Structure 1
């Protein structure tokens, strides 16, 4: 299996961890990597746009060369884009399995213009968005998925099960609601166990807020997976979206799985009555 991965560099300090995450993932997945940056509107001083473009291109070439050395079997190419950074990356995501960016820890946000790029893209990319925090130290074991009884929860579960299977690690599912574990979650977990018998699957009840429960469970994990309903970043943020809270606070990489155009079958052909 080969994933088309877009590694998006925004010029910030978090670029290095995103690059490292892509390199580490190659141990379990074949990757075709596109290293990209978006040259936004620049001052019109004489010669400045060309100087900035050349500087960005040199940076991309250095990253691409390091990845070629670390990933000898991978295809690595460089793409320069120009325009609005969010619009350009959303458009690029149409042809990618993963869009990977780094992000600095977020403490407080008061307006859209100050949102980190990861939060501005969350829930809007066509492929899965992976946000790697600067606090990430590498390594970690297991995949943690936040689940809710909707299409976003199913999307997160399907992607998380795939990641856990290929990394030969355990999958831990955290219920993103309150109260007893719903029957639908138990059935979904059983479907994953049936279709991926080599993957240990654990279900964790939630006695706290959903975001806190996911973050607590994910300490020491390799990856956290959450679903997104595809709403705008400000709406989600102010409404207390679980995905955005996890993105803003996690010390391990977070994958945001969008709801697909077609329904997901975690294990096609396995009916609920087969699990009773």
Structure 2
């Protein structure tokens, strides 16, 4: 069955990188691709005719389609122009996709609502399918897939996604678990911090996560890595040569930063490689008794 992939297009180098990443994926997966651009109706260049401005979006979409046709002429694709808020339209599109792919850079693009800046963070917090954010300077890497393991089972969905990606690519999977000494432990009462006991507890957390993945993917090379320190810098450092870094979200709520989680937020601001943000599944509905 083909994987439904949506690639956001804004005509800049970031979305070009997103298209290139998708084309690379098409080498090892069967894809059905939608190239989409969002015309933000609330904004247009001062003094510029609105219709002319819309042509810029359509031209960017057409150019992306041409690049796909040249690189992968048999790839099934469609091109869609959406109108509205880029965040809202892409979140809506994600409800029927298996993967949403966007590019990112910190430079100012020529389209309002272009795929850079805060858009990846907002999409990562609310997308209904895994979101892959591709840096504008992306080049193909033969490195492993890296994923972060949390203290609890909240990262299981992200780890499962990472394992499937590693198996698809024929790469190893590096599972990173970072731990710190709780700030309130032993500060006021003069007690000795049980360092060895804490480390052993986190070693067990990592071993359980790695064991579960090995059992589900017997042929996959899994390398567990335990590090003491903040999680986000540890993951960024571990992913410098990675093909993909996979992180999870903390579910959905009222505040985007809390939904996404500080670790995912921070790695998206310090991207060492493409990052996949995998949402946790929605809890089952509560049935009235």
Specify the TM-score bucket, using the shorter chain as the normaliser: 0.7 to 0.9
Partner residue, 1:270:
none
Q: Which runs of 5+ in 2 are unaligned?
A: 108-115, 181-197, 285-289
Q: Which runs of 5+ in 1 are unaligned?
A: 107-113, 264-276
Partner residue, 1:72:
73
Mapping for residues 1-276 of structure 1, pairs under 5 Å: 1-40=1-40, 41-43=42-44, 48-105=49-106, 115-178=117-180, 179-180=198-199, 181-231=202-252, 232-235=255-258, 241-261=262-282
Checking the alignment, whether the CA contact within 8 Å between 1:215 and 1:250 is kept in structure 2 is yes
Largest Rg, 1 or 2: 2
Residues 84-106 of structure 1: CA deviation (Å, up to 9, x unaligned): 11111000000111111111159
Structure-1-length-normalised TM-score? 0.84
What is the CA distance between 1:234 and its match in structure 2?
4.1
Residues 59-110 of structure 1: CA deviation (Å, up to 9, x unaligned): 111211211222233211100000111111000000111111111159xxxx
Structure 1 residues 65 and 185: CA distance shift in structure 2, 3 A: same
Between 1:149-158 and 1:168-177, the stretch displaced more is: 149-158
Between 1:130-139 and 1:92-101, the stretch displaced more is: 130-139
What is the CA distance between 1:120 and its match in structure 2?
1.6
Query: Aligned equivalents of 1:42 and 1:16: distance in 2?
Result: 23
Structure-2-length-normalised TM-score? 0.80
What is the CA distance between 1:134 and its match in structure 2?
1.9
Query: Aligned equivalents of 2:137 and 2:46: distance in 1?
Result: 37
